[in-house]
Structure 1
Amino acid sequence: MPVLNAEQFLHESMSSTMRTLPRDAELRLLDDGSTDSTLRILEDWASKDARIRLHRHETPQGVHVSLNELAQAGDSEVIGRMDADDICLPGRWTRGLRATRTADMAFSTVLRINEQGWPIGADQPGPLSAQAVPWHLLLGCAVVHGTVTMRRKHFETLGGYENTGAEDYELWLRSASRGGRIVRSAVPTVAYRSHSHQTTHRRPWENDETPVLEESYTALAEKLLGPGDKDERRRQLSAVTHRGPISPNTRAAVARLLDEVHEESQNLPVLDRVLLEWRIRRERFRLAHRPVD
């Protein structure tokens, strides 16, 4: 759990995490140069529970640096992720551990809550199999970072997180393009909090100019759909990672992507195909109502 100026929700997140964490597991925390009372809160928790390991940066180093450092500091067979503003639901870790017996990365759906902790929505229903997840990733980041449990060997083989504004989505794309088995269970294991100070709300990937995200997206697209025009793939990636108006060319590129995914995914098992069709219809609706610049 990397933490930066998270005092507002930290007690609740820590309480739920420690309550659901197995007795033989450890929680590694990294304070990434917080300037509020975050470090004091973490030190207090660490003094009360021997399962907690506390790390610190004097100045902020960024999410990808913190995540890689935390992963490298441990030696467990399985690595889990938790955010300092979310809440672990019962079964968070046991379900993740069980799923990684047959998967390289395992996610779950989430219950979405607001700043006060009241439910405001849920994910697309249903499980996503290892066959279906890659197709969903072409249409955007279909899994929530804070629910991931992954095999350390697979994570290390991939080389960890890259320095990009969408370090999580890029890792999932890279894993899927290299044959990683990624699944998502239907049962929510995390209450995902939406608030004005969260990183996701700031959408740092929209100003990301590093090529690694585009490379990983293109690699997965080529694996599933075959070779394609790189400018076309660039427009499609831009559309699924950015909000706001899009050009007519980008609108047309996304429409072609939806057609390709629909056509090429017909051999999926029935439930996977139904859920993917639901997603495609939703994306078509959004595309139809998206402003054109």
Structure 2
Amino acid sequence: MGTHNGEATIKTAVQSIQNQTEPDWEFIICDDCSTDNTWSILQSIAALDSRIKLLQNSQQGGLSLSLNKCLAQAQAPLIARMDDDDVSQPHRFEAQIQALDKNPEIALTGCNAHLFSEPGHYQGFRKCPERPTAQQIFNGKNFIHPTILIRRQILLNVGGYNIAPYALRCEDFDLWCKLYAHGYRGINVQQPLLDYHESPRNIQHRNAQQHRNVHQVMKVWRKDLPLTTTGRIYSLIPLIKSWLPQSILNLRYRKLLVSQKEEESDD
């Protein structure tokens, strides 16, 4: 976990890992120069649980840098992701480990997720493709970053997370493309094993620069992925989004939440 100013939610997030039915884990958390009480909260938690290891950046470096520092300290053969404002269901690790055991050829596993804007305020449901193809990865129908469990050696094989400026706020998308370009594949457990914090305020951070970053990531990886000619054209969509007014993107986001709720009710 990388965290920055997560004092309001980090205790609940950590407790959801402590409550896992699979108890054999080590939780490495890197604080990225928080200016609130995040660090003191983490110290209090770690003092009572020896499985929790804390790192602290000397200067703010962003999520990718923090996660790479955690990866460098990790020893276990499997690496799980977690964000400081999400909640893992108690059987998340158990279900995902079983999925990897049953599919030894698979590099990583994610899962579906319930969406919430504030504690107790249910927003919808995000369903991920069970076995994402390279084209689906490129189209954005892939994995929810804080749900993944990945084989550590494979993550090391591809060099961990990209810290280049163009991957800022889309480091997860860059990682999926990189993994698939190297021939690795993943699956999504078709259960909502995570409560994912996703609110209308989040879209304010998806600004024009982030859409341009996604476009740049697509330009980097499209030549190395088995895509159709039509599929490669999909890389223009983030560029188009970067030109759209924020009000249009907000409307699209609200419609997406409605469709996700309807999809869950159909399931």
Q: Which runs of 5+ in 2 are unaligned?
A: 245-258, 260-267
Cα 1:21–1:70 change in 2 (3 A) is farther
1:68–1:160 CA contact under 8 A, matched in 2:
yes
Name the residue aligned to 2:71: 71
Name the residue aligned to 2:192: 188
- For residues 160 and 200 of structure 2, the distance between their equivalents in structure 1, rounded to whole angstroms, comes to 28
2:138–2:218 CA contact under 8 A, matched in 1:
no
Match among 162, 177, 182 for residue 181 of structure 2: 177
- For residues 85 and 98 of structure 1, the distance between their equivalents in structure 2, rounded to whole angstroms, comes to 25
Shift of 1:115: 1.7
Q: Which amino acid letter does the alignment assign opposite residue 117 of structure 1? A: G
Helix, strand or coil: the match of 1:121? strand
2:79–2:149 CA contact under 8 A, matched in 1:
yes
Shift of 1:212: 4.5
Name the residue aligned to 2:95: 95
2:110–2:189 CA contact under 8 A, matched in 1:
yes
Note if 1:219 corresponds to 2:224. Answer: yes
Pairwise mapping of residues 231-242 of structure 1 onto structure 2 (< 5 A)?
Answer: 233=232, 236-240=234-238
Match among 206, 230, 241 for residue 243 of structure 1: 241
Shift of 1:188: 0.9
Shift of 1:136: 1.6
Pairwise mapping of residues 55-70 of structure 1 onto structure 2 (< 5 A)?
Answer: 55-70=55-70
Cα 1:21–1:195 change in 2 (3 A) is farther
Helix, strand or coil: the match of 1:44? helix
Helix, strand or coil: the match of 1:161? coil
2:107–2:150 CA contact under 8 A, matched in 1:
yes
Note if 1:29 corresponds to 2:29. Answer: yes
Cα 1:210–1:58 change in 2 (3 A) is farther
Higher gyration radius (CA):
1
Shift of 1:144: 0.4
1:41-79 C-alpha deviation (Å, 9 max, x unpaired): 100110010100000013211111111110111111000
1:139–1:240 CA contact under 8 A, matched in 2:
no
- For residues 242 and 10 of structure 1, the distance between their equivalents in structure 2, rounded to whole angstroms, comes to 35
Question: Percent identity, aligned pairs only?
Answer: 24
Name the residue aligned to 1:254: none
Structure 1's consecutive aligned runs of 4 or more residues displaced over 4 angstroms after TM superposition are: 209-213
Shift of 1:244: 6.1
Helix, strand or coil: the match of 1:48? coil
Name the residue aligned to 2:153: 153
Shift of 1:84: 0.2
Shift of 1:161: 0.8
- For residues 160 and 241 of structure 1, the distance between their equivalents in structure 2, rounded to whole angstroms, comes to 26
- For residues 171 and 238 of structure 1, the distance between their equivalents in structure 2, rounded to whole angstroms, comes to 20
Cα 1:207–1:33 change in 2 (3 A) is farther
- For residues 190 and 240 of structure 1, the distance between their equivalents in structure 2, rounded to whole angstroms, comes to 27
Cα 1:241–1:123 change in 2 (3 A) is farther
Q: Which runs of 5+ in 1 are unaligned?
A: 247-281, 283-293
Q: Which amino acid letter does the alignment assign opposite residue 5 of structure 2? A: N
Helix, strand or coil: the match of 2:93? helix
Name the residue aligned to 1:105: 108
1:201-252 C-alpha deviation (Å, 9 max, x unpaired): 51262253895542123422xx132xx59xx93x522415763657xxxxxx
Under a length normalisation based on structure 1, what TM-score does the superposition of the two structures give?
0.73
- For residues 241 and 50 of structure 1, the distance between their equivalents in structure 2, rounded to whole angstroms, comes to 46
Shift of 1:9: 1.1
| Cα RMSD (Å) | 2.5
Shift of 1:28: 0.3
Shift of 1:4: 0.3
Number of aligned residue pairs: 236
Match among 210, 213, 232 for residue 208 of structure 1: 213
